[in-house]
Chains A and B, each alone.
Chain A
Amino acid sequence: MLRDAFPLLVGNAIALFARLVTAVRGVWQGVEPAPRQRIYFANHSSNGDFVLIWTVLPPALRARTRPVAAADYWLKGRSKTFIGREVFNAVLIDRNPNTRREDPISQMVAALDDNASLILFPEGTRNMTDDTLLPFKPGLYHLSQARPDVELVPTWIDNLTSVMPKGKVIPVPLLCSVTFGEPLSVIENEDKAAFLARAEAALIAVAEEVAR
């Protein structure tokens, strides 16, 4: 009992902190916060990104939504490991193809088969450029092929870069928002490049809507 309560408490404390600093607001523009199985694919510019998505999800959805994160980052040190594993229940993947023992796609598919929703950053690394997005890695495509029934929701995280630029420790309190766009439609026999271009365009469209 207590073993389950502690990670939940830490999780709520992290969400409260995120709210105090960013007053983050979830905007359900293209989908409702419904208990459907989904992959929220989002832009990535800060380590706090999935915390913001996680914070604006209603508790019932939050409990079954798992972020996909880098093992090399989250398995460093005891507290990070605890937060990554126990609090966020992250699907931890090894980004280095030479050392990894498990295929990241099969890990994510296993999580989906376990009825979890996923938070995924298809750019693969944090975007430090002035471009809206980095080119997407193919993982999202493979997932959509493997489990076509899962809704793919483009999710734009606004302003967190200014709150916590890479390499900075103290966050600047500024307002942030997380906007959920319309899920990608399914097109049969679509090739990889076309799918990824469409996914990127969908996320950029949400970003442009937010900027307006």
Chain B
Amino acid sequence: MSAPAEFTTLIGGVLAILIIASVIGQVLKARMGPDNEVIDNLVARINAWWGMVVLLALAMLGGQAGVVILFALLSFAGLREFLTLTAKRRADHWALVVSFFVILPVQYILIWADWYGMFSVFIPVYAFLLLPIIMAVHGDTDGFLTRVAETQWGLMICVFAASHVPALLSLNIPGYEGKNVLLVAFLVVVVQLSDVLQYVWGKLIGRHKIAPRLSPSKTWEGFVGGVLSASLVGAGLWWMTPFTPLEAAGLSLIITLMGFFGGLVMSAIKRDKGVKDWGHLIAGHGGFIDRLDSVVFSAPIFFHLTRYFWSVV
């Protein structure tokens, strides 16, 4: 339990925002009447944010173990949602069991062990080749390529990409020792704030739909307003990172853009599979993937950029 001083400042700021958001939610509820669906959903979302912030803060106080375990559990919940929708047949039972109970835990053990050379290839190389072998030896060829590809996609998104959040703790950045947990906080806060601000800008001034077939709620106004304001906030958080304000702004822009497109891609999959939400466990938000899609798409890029330009190997 030894978080850097910056962490306390950040948590204080986030809690202040949540308190303001809750007050606004209650005021809107009182003003618009109790039966307004948009406001009810807003209040449910804010309440869920309280839970998510508390969970994330506790995990970060737990250091590497806390963050690794939290994201392993999030990967489990995400993979469960993803593979519920993918093509599969009875013959795939073992491939699915191996995905959940071997590949997922091994990936996070490799992250825990800081074994970069292995965790960066384990799923794209080893799992990639192993999974179709397991499926092939069971002899069912109906829709084989679809079954293999969709299962692997689930592993890449929900396990491999998601595991790059705790992987940030393995980076060795001179002058930043013992503070890596702040990189996790920076990534999660900027990307999630971008989602929230896109929602807020969209609700306030959103007119022109950006991709009506994929996601009817995404507008150009929300996109530009959300990405730019979140990037500004990201620049303003430079003091908790190894970056200069300008670098923090540039990285924030990249991860918020990746986050936006992550949401778009995952929406396309939902439309393809004919569902509105990935799951139902987070009230107001839907499933775990509905909340994590943006972080998952931005984490590997943020990890590698930081690794190439700031860390010593």
Contacts and interface: CB of A to CB of B under 8 A. Distances in A.
Contacts of A175: 80-81, 84, 279
Interface residues of B, number: 18
Contacts of A165: 90, 93
B80 A23 contact: yes
Given A23-B279, A162-B88, A170 B80 contact: no
A30 B113 CA distance: 52
A212 B84 CA distance: 15
Contact of B101 (A23, A162, A170, A174): A170
B76 interface: yes
Interface in A184-212: 212
A206 B80 CA distance: 24
B280 interface: yes
A25 B280 contact: yes
Interface in B230-284: 274, 279-281
A110 interface: no
Interface in A134-182: 159, 162, 165, 168, 170, 172-175
B252 to A, nearest CB: 34
Contacts of A162: 88
B100 interface: yes
Chain B, interface SS category:
helix
A195 B208 CA distance: 54
Nearest to B280: A25
A23 B80 CA distance: 9
B224 interface: no
Given A162-B88, A172-B100, A23 B93 contact: no
Contacts of A173: 76, 79-80, 100
Contacts of B18: none
Contact of A170 (B90, B97, B280, B281): B97
B90 A159 contact: no
A171 to B, nearest CB: 8
A178 to B, nearest CB: 13
Nearest to A21: B80
A6 to B, nearest CB: 30
B309 to A, nearest CB: 38
A85 B81 CA distance: 34
Nearest to B97: A170
Contacts of B79: 173
Contacts of A170: 97, 101
B280 A159 contact: no
Contacts of B81: 175
B127 interface: no
Contact of A172 (B97, B274, B279, B281): B97
A113 to B, nearest CB: 38
A173 B97 CA distance: 8
Contacts of A168: 93
A109 to B, nearest CB: 37
A173 B105 CA distance: 14
A172 B151 CA distance: 13
Interface of A: 23, 25, 159, 162, 165, 168, 170, 172-175, 212
Interface of B: 76-77, 79-81, 83-84, 88, 90, 93, 96-97, 100-101, 274, 279-281
Given A23-B281, A25-B280, A172-B96, 13 more contacts: A23-B280, A159-B84, A162-B88, A165-B90, A165-B93, A168-B93, A172-B83, A172-B97, A173-B80, A175-B81, A175-B84, A175-B279, A212-B274
12 contacts: A23-B281, A165-B90, A165-B93, A170-B101, A172-B83, A172-B93, A172-B97, A173-B79, A173-B100, A175-B80, A175-B84, A212-B274
The 7 closest A-B pairs by CB, nearest first: A172-B96, A175-B84, A174-B84, A173-B80, A165-B90, A170-B97, A168-B93
